[in-house]
Amino acid sequence: MYRFFVDPEDITGSRIELKKDDCPHISRSLRLKPGARIIAAVSSPGADEYIVELKKISKERVTGEIVETRQSRSEPQIKLHLAQAVPKNSNMEFVVRRCTEIGVGRIIPMLTERTVVKLSEKKAGKKIDRWQRIARAAAKQSQRGMIPEITEVSAPEKLAASFDDYQLIFLPWTGENSQSLKEVLENYRQKEKNMLPRVLVLIGPEGGFTPDEVKFFSDEHSAQSVSLGPRILRTETAGLAVMTAVLYEFGELGP
């Protein structure tokens, strides 16, 4: 079944009205007819999702009746957030799409010393709106229970102020040669047993973090510098690799 996201105010009793932006997609692209069933989800952690039988369909308005309410089973139990230095070209769109698919809950665009992209306040706002739309589409396609939040663009100093919200903060760095991601994950599991951490992954730009930024994040704050092995990953794939490893380690990639 196709999935769509709704707000709580779109639900009245057992009746649901789909968002105006979804109506042309339902009526023209998918060509669904009254009687067809879809999944409607409220983008919120732990929220229910609904099996909806469509009743009225037009390009301006789509309504349906809830026939089943069930708990969303597609969200990972572990909370994963990504702070990504904004890459060149359209690579941030790739990051948003793929990390939404894997299960990230929040993406924080970051401007670092070696970030090539320069964003004015106006340009940043437009970019964030576009990235949020991409996250919404990717969440629908991948059957997510919620849409990841794309936050405002952040500098390292502002980002570090939120570090107390996390139990694990990973900083993959090519200069790290004594501690691997796997070792940190295994040590945490042995120490904390069944406690699922909130995880933040810090990914630098094409040129990587500067030594001063690594020192700022790891020495002055609580980030753990880790190695991802002898191969150099691109900025747009490094975060995906780290989060896949974290999900695997905590049993989130199985039935």
C-alpha distances out from residue 54 to 10, 13, 15, 21, 23, Å: 14, 15, 10, 16, 12
Residue 255 lies in a domain: no
pLDDT at 12: 94
Residue 215 lies in a domain: yes
Q: How many domains does the chain have?
A: 2
- Tell me which of 33, 50, 71 is where a domain ends: 71
Based on the domain organization, do 90 and 215 belong to the same domain?
yes
Residue 18 lies in a domain: yes
Structure tokens at 255: 């039935």
Based on the domain organization, do 45 and 158 belong to the same domain?
no
Based on the domain organization, do 91 and 181 belong to the same domain?
yes
Torsion-angle region of 202 (φ positive above 0: left; ψ -120 to 50: alpha; else: beta):
beta
Based on the domain organization, do 61 and 175 belong to the same domain?
no
pTM: 0.90
Structure tokens at 79: 């909370």
Residue 154 lies in a domain: yes
Based on the domain organization, do 131 and 17 belong to the same domain?
no
Residue 183 lies in a domain: yes
Based on the domain organization, do 54 and 99 belong to the same domain?
no
In sequence order, what are the beta bridge partners of 170? 201, 224
Which residues, including other chains, have CB under 8 Å from residue 197's CB and lie 6 or more apart? Answer: 78, 79, 166, 167, 168, 188
Say how far residue 227 (Cα) sits from the centre of its chain.
Answer: 23
Which residues, including other chains, have CB under 8 Å from residue 102's CB and lie 6 or more apart? Answer: 240, 243, 244, 247
Q: Distance between CA atoms of 237 and 255, rounded to whole angstroms?
A: 25
**For tokens 């990051």, what's the residue?**
95
Give SS3 for 108: strand
- Tell me which of 49, 71, 93 is where a domain ends: 71
Based on the domain organization, do 101 and 217 belong to the same domain?
yes
pLDDT at 208: 94
Based on the domain organization, do 43 and 98 belong to the same domain?
no
Q: Distance between CA atoms of 121 and 19, rounded to whole angstroms?
A: 29
Residue 254 lies in a domain: no
Based on the domain organization, do 102 and 202 belong to the same domain?
yes
Based on the domain organization, do 185 and 207 belong to the same domain?
yes
Residue 229 lies in a domain: yes
Give SS3 for 194: coil
Provide the CATH number for the domain around residue 60: 2.40.240.20
Q: Distance between CA atoms of 88 and 118, rounded to whole angstroms?
A: 10
pLDDT at 48: 86
pLDDT at 10: 93
Longest dimension (CA), the chain: 61
Provide the CATH number for the domain around residue 238: 3.40.1280.10
pLDDT at 73: 83
Residue 249 · residue 185 · CB < 8 Å: yes
H or E element that contains 94: helix 91-102
Domain holding 51, by residue range, is: 3-71
- Tell me which of 36, 71, 106 is where a domain ends: 71
Based on the domain organization, do 107 and 186 belong to the same domain?
yes
Residue 180 lies in a domain: yes
Based on the domain organization, do 204 and 114 belong to the same domain?
yes
Could you read off the pLDDT tens digit of each residue along the chain, which spans 255 residues?
999 999 999 999 999 999 888 999 999 999 999 999 999 999 887 788 999 999 999 989 999 999 999 988 889 999 999 999 999 999 999 999 999 999 999 999 999 999 999 888 888 999 999 999 999 999 999 999 999 999 999 999 999 999 999 999 999 999 998 999 999 999 998 888 778 999 999 999 999 999 999 999 999 998 999 999 999 999 999 999 999 999 999 999 877
In the chain the first and final C-alpha atoms are separated, in Å, by 20
